[in-house]
Amino acid sequence: MAERETTVGMSLLRRVNLPLLLWTAALVAYGILMVWSATSGSASGAAMVQRQAIGVFVGLLPMLALALLDYKVLQHWTGPLMVGLTSLLIAVLLPGLGIVVNGQRNWLALGSIRLFQPSEPAKLVLIVVLAAVIAEHKGRIERPADVARILGYVAVPLALLLLEPDLGTALVFIAIAMGMLLIGGLRMRWFAVFAVAGALLVGVAFATPVLKQYQRDRLTVFINPNVAPKGAGYNLAQSKIAIGSGGLAGKGLRSGTQSSLHFIPERHTDFIFSVLGEELGFVGALVLLALYLALLVTALETAASARDLFGALIATGLITMWTFQILVNIGMTVGIMPITGIPLPFMSFGSSFMVTNLAGVGMLLAVWARRYGT
């Protein structure tokens, strides 16, 4: 009897990806610490930390639910999932349902109460839908009709995001699609076509009123910081000063002058890495990058051990989403990437963002738990 219980216990333990849970917990704790430090000088600082903690606890629910779910079930729900995704992105554009925050209509609200940002869970829905559609081709995507069909699932939510306008999330959608198509078997010549098409679209966007002026400034300031000295250029300059002044070990939590004097813009969201760099220095940044690397390597192991292509593609979508957001966010704070308003996973303030990231971890846990086909 005791031997049987031990066997059952070992079997259950093999289903839980303990390293993934460890790296996630460390990143969440690190994020709450930095949000606390970044907002400590403001009147609403305590409330923001509380909201971030609530976001973590709320996020644990979908994480657990998705971890226990057999992800294969989702493969047969692409239609309803796509309808739900589209409906949410349309709803946020309707007067009375969506509200404008920082120039973007990307929040669903009930009266004056903000509910959540539909674009956040939409990332996970897109990953599941694309994984199901791409998996149908069994690793070989060649015909133009097949490519067009797959891209059609991306085009609809992408167009709705650009109407908000939410350029940052739109870029994340594109990155997710490209990463999943690469693993899903799309021939390399298609990526050359996408690159040319992307370059042409960027040219059209800059030549027409599609992009607002602040978006143009954000995209060009990394080439010429003087293009908007009182806007995006100023923000970038303050971010670089903060990170550079942190030195090896930083100035200490709540002791960063650029942060405490509010020179760093959006210091608790888009530019939280600037606060970390100033207050915890190179060592603090290195710890964060090490945690991200551990998370991504664990996710790669999950993708490699998945029992089917559908599971591997889900893991690939999450890896692409996190990697793209990490590279762009950190890159924009040091001036090597355009400023696009993309937050830093598990670190930036935002309940919807935190819930989405934790739900993504739950999806990885589900793929790992069923890697042996049971």
Q: What is the pLDDT of residue 207?
A: 66
Domain containing 285 equals: 23-369
Query: What are the pLDDT digits (tens) for 253-276?
Result: 988 888 777 778 788 888 999 999
Quick one: angle between helices 351-369 and 45-68, nearest 10? Answer: 20
Calpha distance 59→51 (Å, rounded) = 12
Query: What are the pLDDT digits (tens) for 93-136?
Result: 888 788 877 777 888 877 777 778 889 999 999 999 999 999 99
Q: What is the pLDDT of residue 225?
A: 64
The three state secondary structure string of 221-288 is CCCCHHHCCCCHHHHHHHHHHHHHHCCCCCCCCCCCHHHHCCCCCCCCCCCHHHHHHHHHHHHHHHHH
Q: What is the pLDDT of residue 234?
A: 75
Is 124 part of a structural domain of the chain? yes
Count of structural domains within the chain: 1
Answer whether 172's CB lies under 8 Å from 340's CB: no
Is 198 part of a structural domain of the chain? yes
DSSP state of 88: H
Is 374 part of a structural domain of the chain? no
Q: What is the pLDDT of residue 7?
A: 45
Is 69 part of a structural domain of the chain? yes
Query: What are the pLDDT digits (tens) for 215-259?
Result: 666 666 666 666 555 556 777 888 888 998 899 989 999 888 887
pLDDT, mean over the chain: 87
Q: What is the pLDDT of residue 226?
A: 62
Calpha distance 350→119 (Å, rounded) = 13
Q: Which amino acid is at 80?
A: P
Cβ atoms < 10 Å from Cβ of 118:
28
Is 70 part of a structural domain of the chain? yes
The bridge status of strand 98-101 relative to strand 104-110 is: antiparallel
pLDDT along the chain (374 residues), means of 10: 44 80 97 93 84 95 95 91 91 83 78 82 95 92 91 92 87 95 91 88 70 66 61 77 90 85 81 94 96 98 95 97 96 85 93 95 96 73
Alpha carbon separation from 114 to 106, 117, 150, 218 (Å, rounded): 10, 9, 33, 26
Calpha distance 275→261 (Å, rounded) = 12
Instruction: Please confirm whether the linkage preceding 118 is cis (ω < 30° from 0).
Output: no
Is 11 part of a structural domain of the chain? no
Is 7 part of a structural domain of the chain? no
Is 232 part of a structural domain of the chain? yes
